[in-house]
């Protein structure tokens, strides 16, 4: 389905939410006294007291591309070209969903490509294992590359985004799960790096408030979304807990911010997206037809569409039989649109 023609198909508000049965979406009423249906590996979870204030979720995810990514991540919308970029981390690919609905592989690497962002020249800054590089989109080649920030091969950068000053921030993690050895790194136009926050286990999503004064970031292993003042020189002020996501709904992953200051978060192994208001109160839940949503970003005309990447990483043949669409791209049309992300200044 062409990206530019999604409006007619996407998620007109209804009084139902998505329940999954094998791979088929089924509309079902959701209210504060109902139980919530998830993919079969998660079972049924009774709505706890903390869910009582969540309003009905009125969006049914629509599949926009059959990408079958092993570990789809780091969605980026390019308003100038109308291309939706994303990576497949374990597949080592940078892909683009074109306006006519074609999936184009722009770059392929033997390394793990974890994070992606636009530059002010229409290129892409991305991570390869524990280093950062600039990809020249017209030339389709890497034009600049940093040194690796860690000697061990199990370490790699995960998600990332650009700050209001045009610097790239990305989280380093250890796939060997060595504890809180991860950190947030900031890269300038020369691709020089500096650690701005450490003592993290699994850094994932990053997002800045519309005024640029606040940064939100995720430690997936801690099931925590943190908030901090972001100083103009690229340092963090006091870090506080913004929200701890429910244990029965997997772990938080990618983030996207809407125009009301609401924060959308993908729940990996939770088969859903959650929305928190600017005060950290849980307001919405969108159920997904696959178990592992990974990343989300606003895009499309008026920044009114929320795109969602998913994964099939580590799923068994039986899992894939039940969820053959795992790894594909989806979208919803929330009531409140999003804000554009910052670009890297080359």
Q: Pick from 268, 236, 98, 4: which is nearest to 106 by CA?
A: 98
Measured CA distances, 332 to 1, 135, 275, 325 (Å): 14, 29, 13, 16
Whether residue 259 is annotated as binding a ligand: the answer is no
Distance CA 51, CA 331 (A): 24
Rounded Cα gap, residues 281 and 304, in angstroms: 22
Contacts of 321 (CB under 8 A, 6+ apart): none
DSSP alpha helix (H) spans, the chain: 317-322
Give me the phi and psi of 130, to 5 degrees please: -110, 30
Q: Does 341 belong to an annotated binding site?
A: no
Q: Nearest to residue 270, comparing CAs of 248, 297, 243, 285?
A: 248
* Residue 158 labeled ligand binder: yes
**49 is an annotated ligand-binding site residue:** no
CA 246, CA 250: separation in Å to the nearest integer? Answer: 8
Told to judge if 104 belongs to the known catalytic residues of this protein, a careful annotator would answer no
Contacts of 209 (CB under 8 A, 6+ apart): 215, 216, 257, 261
Three-class secondary structure of residue 216 per DSSP: strand
Query: Of the residues 88, 253, 258, 319, which is catalytic?
Result: 253
Q: How many whole angstroms separate alpha carbon 228 and alpha carbon 213?
A: 9
Which residues participate in the annotated binding site for substrate? Answer: 156, 158
The residues annotated as belonging to the active site are 253
Residues at the annotated binding site for a divalent metal cation?
A: 73, 253
Residues within the annotated binding site? 73, 156, 158, 253
């Amino acid at each position: 389905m062409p990206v530019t023609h999604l409006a007619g198909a996407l998620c007109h508000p209804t009084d139902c939410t998505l329940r999954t049965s094998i791979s088929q979406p089924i509309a079902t009423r959701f209210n504060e006294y109902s139980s919530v249906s998830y993919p079969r590996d998660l079972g049924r979870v009774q709505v706890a007291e903390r869910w009582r204030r969540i309003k009905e979720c009125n969006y049914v995810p629509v599949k926009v591309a059959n990408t079958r990514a092993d570990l789809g991540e780091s969605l980026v919308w390019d308003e100038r070209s109308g291309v939706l970029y994303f990576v497949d981390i374990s597949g080592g690919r940078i892909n683009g969903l074109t306006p006519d609905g074609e999936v184009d592989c722009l770059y392929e690497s033997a390394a793990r490509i974890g994070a992606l962002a636009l530059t002010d020249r229409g290129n892409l800054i991305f991570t390869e294992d524990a280093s950062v590089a600039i990809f020249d989109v017209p030339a389709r080649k890497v034009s600049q590359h940093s040194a690796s920030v860690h000697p061990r091969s199990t370490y790699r950068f995960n998600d990332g985004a650009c700050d209001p000053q045009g610097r790239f921030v990305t989280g380093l993690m250890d796939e060997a799960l060595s504890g809180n050895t991860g950190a947030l790194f900031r890269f300038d136009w020369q691709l020089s790096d500096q650690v701005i926050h450490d003592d993290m286990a699994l850094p994932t999503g990053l997002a800045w408030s519309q005024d640029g004064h606040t940064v939100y970031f995720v430690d997936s292993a801690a099931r925590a979304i943190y908030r901090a003042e972001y100083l103009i020189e690229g340092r963090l002020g006091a870090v506080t807990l913004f929200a701890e996501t429910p244990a029965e709904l997997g772990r938080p992953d990618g983030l996207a911010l809407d125009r009301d200051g609401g924060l959308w978060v993908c729940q990996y192994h939770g088969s859903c997206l959650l929305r928190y208001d600017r005060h950290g109160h849980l307001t919405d839940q969108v159920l997904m037809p696959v178990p592992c949503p990974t990343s989300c970003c606003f895009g499309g005309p008026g920044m009114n569409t929320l795109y969602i990447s998913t994964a099939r990483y580590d799923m068994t043949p039986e899992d894939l039989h039940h969820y053959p669409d795992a790894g594909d791209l989806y979208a919803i049309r929330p009531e409140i649109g999003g804000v554009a992300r910052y670009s890297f200044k080359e």
